[in-house]
């Protein structure tokens, strides 16, 4: 970069009498004073701050202050320039906005200070607010692609907060672990060297903490990720042997591995022929959950779970993943879709994980997505328990709003009443739930078939089933062997239930020909559920509401028991049902 000189201005820090302070960032050449002895000019002891001088660059080169009209050959060159400029001036940089053209290259971008944006208190505990770095800083540059080059159109170099070149290395955007360091960390971890000793050797080699472009936390994060990818001795070989063995037994066995750039295993998915066949019959609703950890490296086990004709949980494919981000879930969902011949499930139930939601929207375009109701309602005591009216009406009215409303219009009215009655207009959690109400409130989902499920309990019961076969220290080779044994047990349970329905008949409890037909068609487990509904109908007390010629309308008040997930308390609600009869039919 060409050299440039500038001036250093002093500015006042934020005080009660000053709403905003200005700190223009200019470049300047370093003097020969050492960094350890040089004062931090961005923060002074007299309540003022100065723009700090730039640190020495390789070869003593300097970096220009950004000005309108500057051009860069590539977008990456612009990013690298502004990142270095920000680090030398003493602030962090980030991409605030970008637009791409039809070819996928950046057409317009806004790069700015990481302290931009307004500070917002996102916690309900006013006595313990969360720290925020946002000061609504306006320092930024705008660049537009003109004739193949990125040209700066507008530039604002003034900050409303202090700058510190000596502290800029702590900004996350300035953290970078090189491939050389990664190899050192990887080797030391395999050798059993603790992270504090491994990081300490890097500090000594660099001549001090201030000379490292990363923190110890970055090294820990890298090793955690690598441990997810490193499957131990014989890990990949065990998987390959298992997959080859299963494919030899049945060509319908499906398996796919996802490798990183270094050839290490990132993610893996597999499904046996029985799971693929079961999906054809029982793939109407699928639950997906990744809260189960199967091995010593903490790789989440990601099963696709359905329900069979006995009401039992069945496995429709499984994966081991190295991370829980949108990219990983997208790969897993696409692989599962490929395994199932491109047939997406009509409905899927997950928790509120944002990465899952994004991946489902990308892969399962026409699938109805539902959030686990239990995961949502179990947070009610945590989010609203401190409200003075929580036990005296708020909780009950909220549950009635969720469970008892029979139409969307009534839900909207009931929700507004809860919010206004208890002054919850500023509750961020309830606001977020309302925005996504179509994903979890039963009245918005009753038009779809859910196989009696509203939670990811099926996935969790499948996890509990595997608990009898694997544990926290199970390595991958042991896991694939035990997985096969667990699957065999699942199949045996289903065959046993088939025999029970074949050899035993449950008597009808009424003279209804409808019940008799269900007895003939359904398995014993599902017929029991039908009989519960029949008993409910028999217990109803209809009363004549009105008569219109040959048509009579009856009012039936049915007492429904709703189990509240958070406290396991039974709430009684009365749902009027209107029945019409016609003497002519």
* Residues 225 and 318 occupy one common structural domain: no
* Residues 122 and 239 occupy one common structural domain: no
CA 527 to chain centre: 38
* Residues 298 and 220 occupy one common structural domain: no
Q: What is the pLDDT of residue 431?
A: 92
Of 461, 493, 525, which closes a domain?
493
Residue 532 domain flag? yes
* Residues 215 and 300 occupy one common structural domain: no
pLDDT at 347 over 90: yes
| Domain count within the chain | 4
Residue 366 domain flag? yes
d(CA 444, CA 344): 21
Locate 223 and state its tokens. 């090793």
Of 440, 462, 493, which closes a domain?
493
Q: What is the pLDDT of residue 563?
A: 42
Average pLDDT on 228-240 reads 60
Residue 484 domain flag? yes
**More confident of the two residues 369 and 213:** 369
d(CA 308, CA 488): 16
Contact present, 327 and 314 (Cβ < 8 Å): no
* Residues 153 and 25 occupy one common structural domain: yes
Q: What is the pLDDT of residue 27?
A: 41
* Residues 257 and 298 occupy one common structural domain: yes
* Residues 167 and 184 occupy one common structural domain: no
- Residue 460's CATH number: 3.30.420.10
d(CA 136, CA 139): 9
* Residues 140 and 253 occupy one common structural domain: no
Q: What is the pLDDT of residue 413?
A: 94
* Residues 219 and 75 occupy one common structural domain: no
Q: Could you list the residue range(s) of the whole structural domain that residue 215 is in?
A: 179-229
- Of the pLDDT bands very low, low, confident and very high (cuts 50, 70, 90), residue 55 is very low
Q: What is the pLDDT of residue 360?
A: 94
Residue 72 domain flag? yes
Burial class (CB in 10 A: 0-12, 13-18, 19+), 397: middle
* Residues 252 and 222 occupy one common structural domain: no
Summarize pLDDT for 385-426 with one digit per residue, the tens: 888 888 888 999 999 999 889 899 999 999 999 999 999 988
Q: Closest Cα to residue 303, out of 312, 474, 293? A: 293
Q: Are strands 149-156 and 140-146 parallel, antiparallel or unpaired?
A: antiparallel
Summarize pLDDT for 137-169 with one digit per residue, the tens: 999 999 999 988 999 999 998 899 888 888 888
- Of the pLDDT bands very low, low, confident and very high (cuts 50, 70, 90), residue 581 is very low
pLDDT at 240 over 90: no
DSSP-derived 3-state class of residue 395: helix
The secondary element (H helix, E strand) that includes residue 281 is helix 273-282
d(CA 431, CA 416): 11
Residue 2 domain flag? no
b/e for 473-491, b at 16 or more Cβ within 10 A? ebbbbbbbebbeebbeebe
């Amino acid at each position: 970069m060409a050299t440039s000189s500038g001036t250093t201005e002093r500015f006042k820090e934020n005080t009660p009498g000053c709403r905003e302070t200005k700190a223009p960032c200019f470049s300047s050449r370093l003097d020969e004073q050492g960094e350890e002895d040089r004062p931090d000019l961005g923060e002074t002891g007299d309540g003022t701050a100065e723009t700090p001088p730039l640190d020495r660059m390789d070869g003593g080169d300097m970096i220009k202050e950004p000005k309108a009209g500057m051009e860069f050959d590539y977008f990456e060159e612009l990013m690298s320039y502004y990142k270095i400029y920000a680090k030398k001036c003493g602030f962090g940089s980030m991409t605030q906005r970008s637009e791409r053209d039809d070819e996928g290259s950046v057409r317009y971008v806004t790069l700015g200070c990481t302290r931009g944006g307004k500070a917002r208190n996102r916690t309900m505990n006013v006595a313990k607010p969360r720290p925020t770095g946002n000061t609504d800083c306006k320092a930024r540059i705008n660049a537009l692609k003109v004739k193949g080059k990125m040209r700066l159109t507008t530039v604002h170099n003034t900050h409303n907060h202090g700058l510190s070149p000596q502290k800029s290395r702590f900004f996350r955007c300035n953290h970078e672990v090189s491939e050389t360091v990664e190899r050192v960390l990887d080797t030391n971890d395999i050798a059993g060297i603790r992270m504090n000793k491994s990081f300490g050797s890097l500090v000594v080699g660099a001549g001090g903490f201030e000379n490292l472009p990363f923190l110890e936390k970055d090294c820990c994060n890298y090793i955690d990720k690598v441990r997810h990818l490193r499957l131990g001795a014989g890990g990949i070989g065990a998987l390959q042997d298992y997959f080859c063995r299963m494919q030899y037994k049945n060509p319908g066995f499906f398996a796919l591995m996802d490798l990183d750039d270094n050839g290490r295993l990132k993610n893996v998915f597999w499904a046996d022929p029985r799971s693929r066949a079961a999906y054809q019959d029982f793939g109407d609703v699928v639950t997906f959950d990744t809260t189960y950890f199967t091995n010593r490296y903490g790789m989440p086990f990601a099963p696709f779970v359905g329900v069979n004709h006995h009401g039992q949980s069945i496995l429709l494919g499984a994966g081991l993943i190295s991370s829980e981000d949108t990219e990983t879930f997208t790969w897993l969902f696409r692989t599962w879709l490929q395994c199932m011949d491109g047939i997406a499930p009509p409905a899927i139930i997950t928790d509120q994980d944002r990465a899952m939601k994004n991946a489902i929207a990308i892969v399962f375009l026409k699938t109805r997505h539902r959030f686990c109701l239990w995961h949502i309602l179990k947070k009610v005591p945590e989010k609203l328990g401190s409200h003075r009216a929580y036990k005296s009406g708020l909780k009950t009215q909220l549950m009635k709003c969720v469970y008892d409303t029979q139409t969307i219009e009534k839900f909207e009215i009931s929700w507004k009443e809860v919010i206004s009655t208890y002054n919850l207009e500023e509750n961020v959690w309830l606001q977020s739930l309302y925005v996504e109400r179509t994903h979890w409130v039963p009245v918005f989902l009753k038009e779809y078939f859910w196989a009696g499920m509203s939670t990811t309990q099926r996935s969790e019961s499948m996890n509990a089933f595997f608990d009898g076969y694997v544990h926290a220290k199970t390595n991958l080779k042991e896991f694939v062997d035990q997985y096969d044994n667990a699957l065999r047990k699942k199949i045996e349970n289903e065959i046993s239930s088939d025999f029970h329905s074949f050899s035993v008949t449950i008597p009808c409890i009424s003279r209804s020909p409808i019940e008799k037909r269900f007895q003939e068609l359904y398995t014993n487990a599902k017929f029991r559920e039908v009989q519960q509904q029949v008993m409910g109908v028999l217990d109803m007390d209809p009363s004549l509401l009105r008569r219109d010629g040959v048509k009579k309308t009856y009012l039936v008040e049915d007492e429904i028991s709703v189990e509240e997930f958070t406290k396991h308390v039974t709430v009684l609600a009365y749902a009027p049902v209107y029945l019409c009869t016609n003497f002519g039919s």
